[in-house]
């Protein structure tokens, strides 16, 4: 099966797709001994030999990983302030993976990582509406009217924010626990929604991405996705894409 050269470079852990394009344009990439400068070039990893500055580039096995991100850990690959990242929690030779979406530094829970560009795009694309489930701890009691506001939607800083569902799990006079489901992941969306309602978030934990559940995975640990989980994610995205075409 052929893939774009820059995609092959990305999945081999050589560079991001954009950085790969720069390598191609600068004449540093060769296919079967011939320098290639055309960005649309496709290669078959099973048949073609790709090299960078004369050194062979080997395709890496596809990986699909679930990680339980602790608070204060960031999702970028490198940090200018030398903060810990999710990649510090993974094997050292897995630096070619990239996160599917992000959680802000103060949030915790399920993060998916992969080196499969197609899988990443399908799961992350807002058009596919991959549902993400969160458990939110709040600093005071929340009422049903507030939860209705979340599902009806509200505007914050010129942006429309809306939950697919909001369920009260527990409440007393000093604390509430809410389960929230979102189809999109706009920047700090949950914190912004609750702030607009006069609520302060104490803890924000993502507990599911589509069919993939956090379950009992310990904080700071990772596991490999099952083939059933991968297939289920792709089926969901395929149905969403088909529905989008029909509409």
DSSP for 81-136, please give it. Answer: T---BGGGGS-GGGTT-EEES---TT-EEEEEEES-HHHHHHHH-GGG---EEEEE
88 is catalytic: no
Beta bridge partners of 159: 156
In the chain the domains, ranked by start, together with CATH numbers, are 3-56 (3.10.290.10), 64-118+220-246 (3.30.70.580), 131-209 (3.30.2350.10)
- State the Cα–Cα distance between residues 28 and 22, nearest whole angstrom: 9
Give the C-alpha distances (Å, rounded to integers) separating 191 from 35, 79, 87, 163, 199.
50, 23, 25, 12, 9
Helix (H) or strand (E) holding 3: strand 3-4
C-alpha dihedral sign at 82, 91, 94, 101:
negative
What pLDDT tens digit does each residue of the chain (247 aa) get? Answer: 788 999 888 878 787 788 899 999 999 999 999 999 999 899 998 899 999 999 999 888 889 999 999 999 999 877 777 889 999 999 988 877 889 989 999 999 999 999 887 888 889 888 888 999 999 999 999 999 999 999 999 999 999 999 999 999 999 989 999 999 998 878 899 999 999 999 999 999 999 999 999 999 999 999 999 999 999 999 988 776 555 455 4
* Matching residue, tokens 């990443």: 120
Catalytic residue among 104, 116, 118, 156: 104
């Amino acid at each position: 099966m052929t893939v774009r050269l820059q995609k092959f470079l990305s999945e081999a852990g050589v560079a991001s797709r954009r950085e790969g394009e720069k390598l191609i344009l600068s004449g540093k990439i060769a296919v079967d001994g011939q320098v290639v400068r055309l960005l649309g070039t496709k290669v078959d990893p099973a048949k073609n030999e790709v090299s960078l500055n004369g050194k062979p580039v080997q395709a890496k096995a596809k990986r699909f990983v679930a990680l339980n991100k602790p608070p204060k850990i960031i999702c970028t690959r490198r940090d200018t302030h030398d903060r810990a990242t999710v990649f510090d929690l993974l094997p050292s030779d897995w630096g070619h993976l990239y996160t599917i979406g992000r959680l802000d530094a103060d949030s915790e829970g399920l993060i998916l990582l992969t080196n499969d560009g197609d899988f990443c795009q399908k799961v992350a694309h807002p058009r596919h509406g991959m549902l993400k489930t969160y458990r939110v701890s709040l600093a005071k009691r929340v009422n049903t009217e507030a939860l209705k506001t979340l599902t009806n939607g509200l505007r914050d800083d010129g942006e429309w924010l809306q939950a697919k569902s909001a369920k009260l799990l527990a409440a007393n006079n000093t604390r509430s626990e809410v389960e929230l489901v979102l189809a999109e992941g706009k920047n700090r969306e949950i914190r912004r929604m609750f702030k607009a309602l006069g609520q302060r978030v104490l803890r924000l934990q993502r507990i599911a991405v589509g069919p993939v559940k956090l379950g009992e995975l310990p904080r700071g640990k990772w596991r490999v996705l099952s083939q059933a989980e991968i297939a289920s994610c792709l089926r969901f995205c395929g149905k969403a894409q088909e529905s989008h075409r029909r509409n």
